[in-house]
Chains A and B, each alone.
Chain A
Protein backbone atom coordinates (compact mmCIF):
# COMPACT_ATOMS: atom_id res chain seq x y z
CA UNK A 1 0.00 0.00 0.00
CA UNK A 2 1.25 3.50 -0.79
CA UNK A 3 -0.29 4.74 2.46
CA UNK A 4 2.38 3.15 4.64
CA UNK A 5 5.98 3.71 3.69
CA UNK A 6 8.40 1.20 5.12
CA UNK A 7 12.16 1.55 5.08
CA UNK A 8 14.57 0.15 4.34
CA UNK A 9 13.23 -2.29 1.77
CA UNK A 10 15.95 -4.76 2.68
CA UNK A 11 18.54 -5.01 5.39
CA UNK A 12 21.57 -7.26 5.72
CA UNK A 13 23.31 -7.23 9.07
CA UNK A 14 25.89 -9.28 10.87
CA UNK A 15 24.76 -11.29 13.85
CA UNK A 16 24.97 -9.24 17.02
CA UNK A 17 24.32 -5.89 15.36
CA UNK A 18 21.42 -3.62 16.18
CA UNK A 19 18.98 -2.50 13.50
CA UNK A 20 15.94 -0.30 13.02
CA UNK A 21 13.03 -0.53 10.59
CA UNK A 22 10.75 2.44 10.04
CA UNK A 23 7.11 2.77 9.07
CA UNK A 24 5.66 6.16 8.12
CA UNK A 25 2.17 7.34 7.30
CA UNK A 26 0.95 10.64 5.91
CA UNK A 27 -2.22 10.22 7.97
CA UNK A 28 -2.79 9.68 11.68
CA UNK A 29 -2.69 6.04 12.65
CA UNK A 30 -5.36 4.65 14.93
CA UNK A 31 -3.61 1.34 15.48
CA UNK A 32 -0.19 0.18 14.29
CA UNK A 33 0.82 -3.46 14.12
CA UNK A 34 4.14 -5.15 13.50
CA UNK A 35 4.25 -8.62 12.01
CA UNK A 36 7.00 -10.98 10.95
CA UNK A 37 6.66 -13.34 8.01
CA UNK A 38 8.83 -16.14 6.74
CA UNK A 39 8.61 -16.42 2.97
CA UNK A 40 5.41 -18.18 1.92
CA UNK A 41 4.13 -18.53 5.46
CA UNK A 42 1.64 -16.77 7.68
CA UNK A 43 2.11 -13.56 9.63
CA UNK A 44 3.38 -13.76 13.18
CA UNK A 45 2.14 -10.98 15.46
CA UNK A 46 4.92 -9.02 17.16
CA UNK A 47 3.43 -5.90 18.71
CA UNK A 48 0.53 -3.49 18.58
CA UNK A 49 0.74 0.24 19.35
CA UNK A 50 -2.14 2.63 19.71
CA UNK A 51 -1.18 5.59 21.87
CA UNK A 52 1.11 8.41 20.84
CA UNK A 53 4.53 7.97 22.42
CA UNK A 54 3.83 4.34 23.22
CA UNK A 55 6.72 1.90 23.41
CA UNK A 56 6.60 -1.87 23.81
CA UNK A 57 9.32 -4.47 24.09
CA UNK A 58 9.42 -8.21 23.80
CA UNK A 59 12.68 -10.06 24.18
CA UNK A 60 15.11 -8.14 21.95
CA UNK A 61 12.52 -6.28 19.89
CA UNK A 62 11.24 -2.80 20.75
CA UNK A 63 8.54 -0.92 18.88
CA UNK A 64 7.67 2.74 19.25
CA UNK A 65 4.91 4.99 17.98
CA UNK A 66 5.66 8.71 17.79
CA UNK A 67 3.60 11.36 19.56
CA UNK A 68 1.87 12.43 16.36
CA UNK A 69 0.97 8.79 15.61
CA UNK A 70 2.36 8.97 12.08
CA UNK A 71 5.61 7.10 12.45
CA UNK A 72 6.65 3.85 14.08
CA UNK A 73 9.99 2.16 14.44
CA UNK A 74 10.97 -1.42 15.19
CA UNK A 75 14.35 -1.89 16.80
CA UNK A 76 16.14 -5.21 17.18
CA UNK A 77 19.01 -5.40 19.61
CA UNK A 78 21.86 -7.89 19.16
CA UNK A 79 20.30 -9.51 16.08
CA UNK A 80 20.34 -13.27 15.64
CA UNK A 81 19.78 -15.49 12.57
CA UNK A 82 16.36 -16.33 14.03
CA UNK A 83 15.35 -12.70 13.48
CA UNK A 84 15.64 -13.12 9.72
CA UNK A 85 12.44 -12.74 7.73
CA UNK A 86 10.11 -10.11 6.35
CA UNK A 87 8.86 -7.45 8.75
CA UNK A 88 5.55 -5.84 7.91
CA UNK A 89 3.89 -2.87 9.50
CA UNK A 90 0.12 -2.67 9.24
CA UNK A 91 -2.34 -0.02 10.30
CA UNK A 92 -5.93 0.61 11.23
CA UNK A 93 -7.56 3.96 10.68
CA UNK A 94 -10.40 5.18 12.84
CA UNK A 95 -12.68 5.65 9.83
CA UNK A 96 -12.05 2.18 8.39
CA UNK A 97 -11.56 -0.26 11.25
CA UNK A 98 -11.03 -3.77 9.96
CA UNK A 99 -9.30 -2.62 6.78
CA UNK A 100 -5.75 -3.44 7.76
CA UNK A 101 -3.26 -1.74 5.43
CA UNK A 102 0.32 -2.94 5.11
CA UNK A 103 3.62 -1.41 4.19
CA UNK A 104 5.70 -3.15 1.52
CA UNK A 105 7.80 -4.96 4.08
CA UNK A 106 11.46 -5.09 5.04
CA UNK A 107 13.47 -8.18 4.16
CA UNK A 108 15.95 -8.81 6.99
CA UNK A 109 18.95 -11.10 6.55
CA UNK A 110 21.22 -11.82 9.50
CA UNK A 111 24.50 -13.51 8.68
CA UNK A 112 26.59 -15.31 11.30
Chain B
Protein backbone atom coordinates (compact mmCIF):
# COMPACT_ATOMS: atom_id res chain seq x y z
CA UNK B 1 0.00 0.00 0.00
CA UNK B 2 1.70 3.20 -1.19
CA UNK B 3 -1.20 5.56 -0.71
CA UNK B 4 -2.32 8.33 1.55
CA UNK B 5 -6.10 8.29 1.85
CA UNK B 6 -8.03 11.42 2.70
CA UNK B 7 -11.69 11.70 3.61
CA UNK B 8 -13.98 13.31 2.79
CA UNK B 9 -13.09 14.43 -0.73
CA UNK B 10 -15.43 17.40 -0.52
CA UNK B 11 -16.79 19.25 2.51
CA UNK B 12 -19.10 22.22 2.81
CA UNK B 13 -19.48 23.70 6.27
CA UNK B 14 -20.98 26.74 7.90
CA UNK B 15 -18.94 29.12 9.99
CA UNK B 16 -20.42 27.77 13.22
CA UNK B 17 -19.93 24.11 12.37
CA UNK B 18 -17.39 21.66 13.72
CA UNK B 19 -16.00 19.15 11.29
CA UNK B 20 -12.95 16.93 10.91
CA UNK B 21 -10.72 15.91 8.05
CA UNK B 22 -9.16 12.48 8.14
CA UNK B 23 -5.91 11.15 6.69
CA UNK B 24 -4.64 7.58 6.77
CA UNK B 25 -1.50 5.81 5.55
CA UNK B 26 -0.22 2.26 5.98
CA UNK B 27 3.30 2.66 4.65
CA UNK B 28 4.89 2.72 8.07
CA UNK B 29 5.77 6.40 7.67
CA UNK B 30 6.48 8.13 10.97
CA UNK B 31 5.94 11.71 9.82
CA UNK B 32 2.65 13.15 8.65
CA UNK B 33 1.80 16.61 7.38
CA UNK B 34 -1.10 18.94 6.71
CA UNK B 35 -0.87 21.44 3.85
CA UNK B 36 -3.31 24.09 2.72
CA UNK B 37 -3.56 25.04 -0.95
CA UNK B 38 -5.51 28.03 -2.24
CA UNK B 39 -6.51 28.21 -5.88
CA UNK B 40 -3.58 28.74 -8.26
CA UNK B 41 -1.11 28.80 -5.36
CA UNK B 42 1.40 26.19 -4.19
CA UNK B 43 0.69 24.13 -1.07
CA UNK B 44 1.67 25.74 2.22
CA UNK B 45 2.70 23.73 5.24
CA UNK B 46 0.43 23.89 8.29
CA UNK B 47 1.49 21.14 10.70
CA UNK B 48 4.03 18.36 10.99
CA UNK B 49 3.72 15.31 13.23
CA UNK B 50 6.78 13.22 13.85
CA UNK B 51 6.40 9.97 15.77
CA UNK B 52 2.89 11.04 16.72
CA UNK B 53 4.08 14.27 18.31
CA UNK B 54 3.45 17.73 16.92
CA UNK B 55 6.83 19.01 15.79
CA UNK B 56 5.94 21.99 13.60
CA UNK B 57 3.01 24.41 13.74
CA UNK B 58 3.40 27.11 11.13
CA UNK B 59 1.53 29.71 13.19
CA UNK B 60 -1.82 28.28 12.17
CA UNK B 61 -4.93 29.83 13.79
CA UNK B 62 -6.39 27.82 16.66
CA UNK B 63 -9.61 27.18 14.74
CA UNK B 64 -7.53 24.43 13.09
CA UNK B 65 -6.64 21.68 15.55
CA UNK B 66 -4.53 18.72 14.45
CA UNK B 67 -4.54 15.34 16.10
CA UNK B 68 -2.48 12.21 15.56
CA UNK B 69 -4.21 9.30 17.34
CA UNK B 70 -1.65 6.77 16.11
CA UNK B 71 1.14 6.42 13.59
CA UNK B 72 -1.26 5.72 10.71
CA UNK B 73 -3.89 8.37 11.32
CA UNK B 74 -3.92 12.15 11.18
CA UNK B 75 -6.95 14.31 11.78
CA UNK B 76 -7.60 18.00 11.33
CA UNK B 77 -10.42 19.34 13.47
CA UNK B 78 -12.14 22.44 12.17
CA UNK B 79 -14.20 24.88 14.23
CA UNK B 80 -15.52 28.37 13.57
CA UNK B 81 -13.83 28.66 10.20
CA UNK B 82 -13.99 31.69 7.96
CA UNK B 83 -14.84 31.79 4.25
CA UNK B 84 -11.19 32.58 3.51
CA UNK B 85 -10.29 29.16 4.93
CA UNK B 86 -11.90 27.58 1.88
CA UNK B 87 -9.12 25.66 0.14
CA UNK B 88 -7.79 22.25 -0.80
CA UNK B 89 -6.35 20.55 2.29
CA UNK B 90 -3.64 18.05 1.53
CA UNK B 91 -2.21 15.41 3.80
CA UNK B 92 1.24 13.92 3.22
CA UNK B 93 3.50 11.40 4.86
CA UNK B 94 7.18 10.49 4.80
CA UNK B 95 9.72 8.31 6.53
CA UNK B 96 11.62 9.88 9.40
CA UNK B 97 10.55 13.47 8.90
CA UNK B 98 11.87 13.95 5.38
CA UNK B 99 11.14 12.62 1.94
CA UNK B 100 14.81 11.89 1.35
CA UNK B 101 14.67 8.43 2.91
CA UNK B 102 11.98 7.15 0.58
CA UNK B 103 12.08 6.38 -3.12
CA UNK B 104 8.82 8.29 -3.40
CA UNK B 105 9.70 11.41 -1.45
CA UNK B 106 6.76 12.86 0.40
CA UNK B 107 3.58 10.96 -0.47
CA UNK B 108 0.50 13.12 -0.82
CA UNK B 109 -3.17 12.28 -0.61
CA UNK B 110 -5.75 13.47 -3.12
CA UNK B 111 -6.96 16.20 -0.79
CA UNK B 112 -10.18 17.46 0.75
CA UNK B 113 -11.86 20.36 -1.02
CA UNK B 114 -13.26 22.51 1.79
CA UNK B 115 -15.81 25.25 1.25
CA UNK B 116 -16.82 27.46 4.18
CA UNK B 117 -20.14 29.26 3.73
Query: What residues of chain A have their CB less than 8 Å away from a CB belonging to chain B?
Result: 1, 30-31, 33, 35, 40-45, 48, 50, 88, 90, 92, 97-100, 102-105
Give me the interface of B with A, judged by CB distance under 8 Å. 4, 6, 31, 33, 41-45, 48, 50, 55-56, 88, 90, 92, 94, 97-100, 103-111, 113
Would you list 11 pairs from A and B whose C-beta atoms are within 8 A, ordered by A residue? A1-B42, A40-B88, A45-B105, A50-B100, A88-B42, A97-B98, A98-B94, A98-B97, A102-B44, A103-B42, A104-B42
Contact check, B48 vs A98: say whether CB atoms are below 8 A apart: yes
Contact of B100 among A41, A48, A102 (CB under 8 A): A48
Our pick among A35, A40, A92, A99 for the contact of B111 (Cβ within 8 Å) is A40
From known contacts A40-B113, A105-B42, infer whether A92 and B48 are also in contact, taking CB-CB under 8 Å: no
Chain B hits for A103, CB < 8 A:
42
Cα A73 to Cα B105 in complex, Å, equals 17
Shortest Cβ distance from residue A87 to the other chain B in the assembled complex, whole angstroms:
11
Query: Do A33 and B106 touch across chains, with their CB atoms under 8 A apart?
Result: yes
Partner of A104, one of B41, B48, B56, B110: B41
**Cβ-neighbour of B104 out of A42, A45, A98 (below 8 A):** A45
User: Are A31 and B108 in contact, CB atoms less than 8 angstroms apart?
Assistant: no
Give me the 7 closest cross-chain CB pairs, A-B, nearest first. A102-B42, A42-B110, A43-B108, A97-B98, A48-B105, A98-B97, A31-B100
What does DSSP make chain B's interface, helix, strand, loop or mixed?
strand
- How many angstroms between the C-alpha atoms of A88 and B88 in the bound complex? 16
Structural contact, B99 and A100, CB atoms closer than 8 A: yes
Query: How far apart sit A1 and B98, CA to CA, in the bound complex (Å)?
Result: 19
On whether the beta carbons of A35 and B108 are closer than 8 Å, the reply is: yes
A41-B110 contact in complex given A92-B100, A98-B48, A98-B55, C-beta closer than 8 Å: yes
Using known A-B contacts A1-B42, A98-B33, A98-B48, determine if residue A42 contacts B108 with beta carbons closer than 8 Å: yes
How far does the alpha carbon of A102 sit from the alpha carbon of B33 in the complex, in Å?
14
Complex interface: chain B residues within 8 A of A99 (CB): 45, 48, 56
A31 in contact with B99 given A98-B31, A98-B50, A105-B42 (CB within 8 Å)? yes
